[in-house]
């Protein structure tokens, strides 16, 4: 490309970044979430001036979120391997007990720089905290509903009917304690089951729930990835897609991996409104352990498709150093935020 061509591209990007920041600021001021959401759409990145027509050329694979997140908010990078093991004690019968405390609140969250969404949260974040335990542990989860609507926590797993978080709806200001043994081992999840379910889930009431096998899994760099989306203008369709809530976060902040090191992703799909979501890895293949409930049987592929509520454990090792994309293989989702990058360090592992 000639210098002139590069100059054109740079100046159009610079213009677009100002435009996008302005759009984001509008969103931040609560004047137009839909306006803010458009900041994620690729065509907006190539507008010559305010309201002007798109520039004649496109730049593929260069969709961006512009600006930075408000300090002090949810950090998707920290969320990757932040596990809540609860308050641990031993019961008289020798069983390990883990006590968790979860509070539902109404809280505005940032789903892309300057784009805010009025969420309902578990412990002030979307997704909620990743609860982690070992198969056979006794779990006691105290749930306080400090939100404005009735909620519950419905855990996936094997437990009694009255611990299922469906019929025992917890009204605002009320408390409920769920108590059950952790089984089976695998990658579970939890979410609100109050009705209308679609609304309570898309507002953000869900989280990952890992039950480790008693002997554990092989040592690895572990990452929790919740595929989700946000309907920022409430038209029944998502405007922003992500893993772990913030569109394009891991593109702007690549996840560092090492050549030859085992990586493990706990992948969960809680995307509302769309029938499926998917995870595709570049330059590599991974093992897929469906629901994480079997340590032996797996599928060897580079793309896995999940319906809502489905999850799987992915394991892979990089042979080559460099930057490798991971993203939804639905191009629309990828362009609206569900796009990330691994930055693999080290020498070729021949
Ligand atoms: Cu709810």
pLDDT in tens, the chain (350 residues): 333 333 333 333 333 333 333 333 333 333 233 334 444 544 333 333 333 334 434 444 456 777 888 888 999 999 999 999 999 999 999 999 999 999 999 999 999 999 999 999 999 999 999 999 999 999 999 999 999 999 999 999 999 999 999 999 999 999 999 999 999 999 999 999 999 998 999 999 999 999 999 999 999 999 999 999 999 999 999 999 999 999 999 999 999 999 999 999 999 999 999 999 999 999 999 999 999 999 999 999 999 999 999 999 999 999 999 999 999 999 999 999 999 999 999 988 66
- The residues, any chain, with a CB within 8 Å of residue 248's CB and separated by 6 or more, are 40, 63, 64, 65, 112, 242, 337, 339, 340
Residue 3 phi, psi (nearest 5): -60, -40
Cα of 277 vs centre of ligand 1, distance in Å, is 22
Cα of 271 vs centre of ligand 1, distance in Å, is 16
Cα of 7 vs centre of ligand 1, distance in Å, is 51
Cα of 188 vs centre of ligand 1, distance in Å, is 18
Cα of 144 vs centre of ligand 1, distance in Å, is 12
Residue 301, by phi and psi: left (phi above 0), alpha (psi -120 to 50) or beta?
beta
Cα of 121 vs centre of ligand 1, distance in Å, is 9
Nearest to 125 by CA among 209, 248, 246, 211: 246
Cα of 290 vs centre of ligand 1, distance in Å, is 27
Nearest to 247 by CA among 262, 233, 260, 232: 232
Cα of 327 vs centre of ligand 1, distance in Å, is 29
The tally of CA atoms less than 13 A away on the side-chain side of residue 94 is: 0
67: which 2 tokens? Answer: 């600006």
Cα of 155 vs centre of ligand 1, distance in Å, is 13
How many angstroms separate the CA atoms of 65 and 335, rounded?
Answer: 10
Cα of 202 vs centre of ligand 1, distance in Å, is 10
Cα of 206 vs centre of ligand 1, distance in Å, is 9
Q: What is the pTM of this model?
A: 0.84
Cα of 259 vs centre of ligand 1, distance in Å, is 42
């Amino acid at each position: 490309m000639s210098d002139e061509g590069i100059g054109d591209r740079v100046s159009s990007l610079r213009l677009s970044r100002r435009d996008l920041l302005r759009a984001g600021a509008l969103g931040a001021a609560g004047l137009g979430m839909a306006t803010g959401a458009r900041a994620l759409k690729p065509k907006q990145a190539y507008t010559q001036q305010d309201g002007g027509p798109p520039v004649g050329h496109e730049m593929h694979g260069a969709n961006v979120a512009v600006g930075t997140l408000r300090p002090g908010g949810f950090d998707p990078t920290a969320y990757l391997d932040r596990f809540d093991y609860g308050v641990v004690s031993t019961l008289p019968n020798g069983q390990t007990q883990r006590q968790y405390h979860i509070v539902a609140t109404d809280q505005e969250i940032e789903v892309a720089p300057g784009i805010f969404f009025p969420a309902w949260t578990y412990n002030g974040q979307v997704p909620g905290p990743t609860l982690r335990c070992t198969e056979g542990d006794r779990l006691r989860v105290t749930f306080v509903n400090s939100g404005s609507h009735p909620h519950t926590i419905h855990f996936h797993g094997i437990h009694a009917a009255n611990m299922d978080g469906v019929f025992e709806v917890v009204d605002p200001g009320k408390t409920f304690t769920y108590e059950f043994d952790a089984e089976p081992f695998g990658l579970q999840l939890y979410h609100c089951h109050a009705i209308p379910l679609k609304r309570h889930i898309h507002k953000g009431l869900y989280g990952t729930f890992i039950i480790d096998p008693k002997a554990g899994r092989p040592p690895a760099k572990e990452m929790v990835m919740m595929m989700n989306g946000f309907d920022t203008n409430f038209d029944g369709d998502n405007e922003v897609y992500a893993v772990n809530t913030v569109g394009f976060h891991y593109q702007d902040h690549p996840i560092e991996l090492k050549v030859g090191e085992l990586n493990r992703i706990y992948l969960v799909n809680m995307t509302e409104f769309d029938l499926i979501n998917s995870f595709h890895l570049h330059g590599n293949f991974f093992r897929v352990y469906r629901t994480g409930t079997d340590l032996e049987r797996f599928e060897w592929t580079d793309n896995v498709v999940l319906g809502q509520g489905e999850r799987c454990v992915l394991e892979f090792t990089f042979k080559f150093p460099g930057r490798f994309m991971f993203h939804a293989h639905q191009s629309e989702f990828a362009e609206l935020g569900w796009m990330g990058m691994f930055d693999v360090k080290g020498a070729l592992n021949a």
